[in-house]
Amino acid sequence: MIKKITLLTLCSILLTGCSTLTVQNISEAGARVSVRVPDSSKNFVNFIPAGNIHQYYSEYGGSYSVTILPDERYRELLNNLNDEISRRLFEERSTLTASDVSALVQRLNEVNTALTDLDEFSASCSGTMAEDKDSIATIIYDNSANQMTITCN
């Protein structure tokens, strides 16, 4: 009963509309971005070509962050993972032992950690997705630093 009252009270206090985050790439090269939105425990990753946008939605609103990933390293990481799953799970499946399967699950679980590691030295920004408002993150090429940067507002 107390749990239900708490839930109803919190829902009525925090009831919000949908929030949108638009990431626009106005640089002259495509960018691989990793986006953390409030509703998800995992990041979204997309490639945004030069001059394009990508939109992300949040039912609740709250904090978000956007990071530009090093595309070559990202592609290498995921292509290696594809090769490993394809080979071990679909080609060598009859030879897999229970411990091999556990190791493969562990490998899959490490993807999120690897993505976080890629984030570490990359350009990023963060902000708040407000109720019924559009948030915008902009990717530009910083000539002085000779690299892509991103701003959130």
Partner 1 sequence: MEEQPQKKGHFVRNCFIFIAVVLLLLVGTVTALFFAFQNGYISQRDILGFIGQLPGEISVVNLEESNTNLALTQLDPPPDESPLTDSLTLEPLDVASFTSIPPGRYELTVEGSSANYTCNLQISSNDIYHIFPTTSGTAITRDGYNPQSADEMDMGTSSLCKQ
Binding site for partner 1 (CB under 8 A): 3, 6-7, 9-10, 13-14, 16, 34, 37-47, 59-63, 74-75, 78-79, 81-82, 85-86, 88-91, 93-94, 96, 98, 101-102, 104-105, 108-109, 111, 115, 127-129
**CB of 59 within 8 A of CB of 40?**
no
Least spacing, CB of residue 91 vs partner 1, in Å: 7
Amino acid at 86: S
Q: How many CA atoms lie within 13 A of 153 on its CB side?
A: 4
**Helix/strand number for the chain, H first, E second:** 3, 8
Q: 2 or 145, CB closer to partner 1?
A: 2
Least spacing, CB of residue 139 vs partner 1, in Å: 17
Q: 117 or 142, CB closer to partner 1?
A: 117
Q: 79 or 142, CB closer to partner 1?
A: 79
Least spacing, CB of residue 145 vs partner 1, in Å: 26
Least spacing, CB of residue 44 vs partner 1, in Å: 5
What are the distances in angstroms from CA 103 to CA 48, 86, 87, 112?
33, 15, 14, 16
Least spacing, CB of residue 22 vs partner 1, in Å: 16
Q: How far apart are CA 50 and CA 30, in angstroms?
A: 5
**CB of 104 within 8 A of CB of 89?**
yes
Q: How far apart are CA 131 and CA 12, in angstroms?
A: 14
Q: 34 or 122, CB closer to partner 1?
A: 34
